[in-house]
Amino acid sequence: MRITCPNCGERDRREFTYQGDALALDRPARNAGAHAWDDYLHNRENPAGDTRDLWYHDACATWAVVKRNTVTHAVHSSIAATKVKR
C-alpha cells in the first residue's frame, strides 16, 4: 500500500505508523475511571470499507488523515491532520 505524505509525497506504508480512526480522537477525561479508559484503549471499530484513519509518517514527523478502503487497500486521499475539519 502507498500513502501520500503531505510533506514528502507518495511513500511506502512501512514508513508510517497507524494510529486509528481519525474521527474518534476524543480521549476520556483524566479522571474518567478505569472502565472508560479500558474502553478507549481496547475497544475499537473495525469496519470493512471506506475509513478515515490517522497515520504518522515516521520519516518527517507528519500526521496525516488518510481516506482508504480496508477491503481493497485503495488510498483515496491524504491530508495533513492540522487541516482537517471535524
Show the domains of the chain with their CATH numbers.
1-26+49-86 (3.30.2270.10)
Paired residues of 2 in beta bridges: 12
Paired residues of 75 in beta bridges: 68
Q: What is the pLDDT of residue 53?
A: 92
Helix locations, 3-76, DSSP H? 34-42
DSSP secondary structure letters along 25-71: --PPPTTS-HHHHHHHHH-----SSEEEEEEEETTTTEEEEEEEETT
pTM (predicted TM-score): 0.76
What is the band of 80 on the pLDDT scale with cuts at 50, 70, 90? Answer: very high
Q: What is the pLDDT of residues 29-78, one digit of tens each?
A: 999 999 999 988 888 778 899 999 999 999 999 999 999 999 999 999 99
